[in-house]
Structure 1
Amino acid sequence: MISTKIPFVIFKSFFNGSIRIKLDWESLISEQVTINMSFFEELENPSSWYLPWYLNDVDEEVSYLAPNARQLTLADIPKAINHLNSKRRDKIQELLSRFINSTQPVQLVIATYALPDGKHLIMDGNHRSSALILAGVKARLMVFEMFGPLDPELLPDLRLWKD
């Protein structure tokens, strides 16, 4: 893995508009966040890569606000895909078809937020990452990872990471 620190303005210019989860861009400017850009030859340890998708106790997809919301990781996708909403599932299946037929390593660019213990919350690239896990093909990943406070005011999904 190769990693380098990049200015926030590069991250913002690259992902502003493509990150669809709630992210307080204005507050991020004043926070002391840092961004690292890393290159991976494979997506290691799928159980450390969290999606902003949640299931409840009976495996129904729910909001992060649901009291019994359970976080999903990329390792959960093979079993959880049938419990995701149809639009999400169809998008993953579409990408999966393209990835499986690729003769070259699949190249992905994703944005994440750093979580404790080397874990990551995927902010952009959830469908692509999920399809990659299902496809089981070779990949090259460019990961932009934001390091900042675990503040749900910045990113509401972080409420599940507060003590």
Structure 2
Amino acid sequence: MDIGEFVTVFQDGGVRAWLDWDALESAGCAVRERFSRSPDVLGGLFTVWYQAANGTDGDWRNPGDRPLRVAECADAMDIWPTDRRERIRGFADAFRGEARPVQLVLPAYAVGGDEAVLLDGTHRAVAAYLAGVDVRIMLFVLDGPIDPRMLPDLGHYR
């Protein structure tokens, strides 16, 4: 997949992270495809959800708040707003009822090595991890500058 295809698939697909779509091509971003069946790979992905130092729901705007990985989100259900918890639980219940592996197609942004932050699909990713189901993960990872102008969350990864 090239950057143009990434934009075609994911920009209109409802990516909610504040990605600067116009800057992707000019920044020289490339797209790397990764496939995994590992719950550890899923659990290790960073999210755009944060936890404050006092253990409450955090925000990317707060330099002291830290981005959580999918596995940490599954363990922090009690700090999330009610609508987020309910949505995650709804997906987890549906995933447990599936006879086949859960397939997750997830856009992400590389933040160093094999580490990446999810740009969308976080509710589904956390739910699949929480449900403990068999997963098939297809990641489309943007390789670009670690620059908060590309994605504000990237300021936490410098």
TM-score range, shorter chain: over 0.9
Letter in 1 for 2:48: P
Paired residues for 1:49-128 under 5 Å: 49-128=45-124
Of 150, 153, 156, 1:157 maps to: 153
Dislocated runs of 4+, deviation >6 Å: none
Q: 1:15 and 2:6 equivalent?
A: no
Give the alignment's Cα RMSD to 1 decimal.
1.3
Is 2:32 the counterpart of 1:36?
yes
Taking structure 2 as the reference length, the TM-score comes to 0.93
Q: CA deviation at 1:40?
A: 1.7
Residue 143 (structure 1) aligned with residue 136 (structure 2) = no
CA distance in 2, matches of 1:57, 1:78: 18
Greater displacement, 73-82 / 122-131: 73-82
Quickly say closer, same or farther: Cα 1:101–1:117, change in 2 above 3 A. same
- Aligned letter for 1:140? R
The question of whether the paired residues in 1 share the 8 Å contact of 2:51 and 2:67 is answered with yes
TM-score (norm 1): 0.90
Output the amino acid matched with 2:156. Answer: L
Q: CA deviation at 1:46?
A: 4.7
1:158, distance to aligned residue in structure 2 (A): 0.1
Deviations 1:80-111 (A, max 9, x none): 11111112111111100100111100011101
Partner amino acid, structure 1, of 2:9: F
Q: Which has the higher strand share?
A: 1
Q: What number of residue pairs does the alignment pair up?
A: 157
Residues 125-152 of structure 1 deviation map (CA, whole Å, 9 limit, x = unaligned): 1011000110111011111110011010
Using a 3 Å threshold, how does the CA distance of structure 1 residues 47 and 133 change in structure 2: closer, same or farther?
Answer: closer
